């Protein structure tokens, strides 16, 4: 994957995670239930952003630890 694609996916994951965090933090209304699991979407976007930061590090030449 190229650097521009990684950076654009990282920006998209951060934007989606921020939006889902904002929507998930709103107070719940029992008369109008939530149909979208915003907290789970925020968790998935955060995990994707974490993996993309690791991939960005390998593209920049950060040495790997371990065997």
Instruction: Give the model's pLDDT for residue 67.
Output: 55
* Contact between residue 7 and residue 53 where contact means Cβ atoms under 8 Å apart: no
- What's residue 32's pLDDT? 84
Q: Which residues pair with 29 in a beta bridge?
A: 32
DSSP run (H or E) holding 56: helix 38-60
Q: Which residue range forms the structural domain that includes residue 54? A: 3-25+36-60
CB 17 within 8 A of CB 45: yes
- 65 in any annotated domain: no
Residue 30 lies in a domain: no
Which residues of the chain fall short of a pLDDT of 50?
none
Q: Hey, is 33 helix, strand or coil?
A: coil
pLDDT at 1: 85
Does this model's pTM top 0.85?
A: no
Number of domains forming the structure of the chain: 1
30: Cα within 13 Å, side-chain hemisphere: 0
């Amino acid at each position: 994957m190229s650097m521009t694609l990684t950076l654009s996916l990282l920006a998209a994951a951060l934007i989606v995670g921020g939006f889902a965090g904002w929507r998930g933090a709103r107070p719940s209304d029992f008369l109008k239930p939530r149909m979208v699991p915003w907290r789970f979407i925020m968790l998935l976007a955060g995990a994707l952003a974490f993996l993309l930061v690791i991939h960005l590090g390998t593209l920049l030449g950060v040495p790997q630890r371990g065997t």
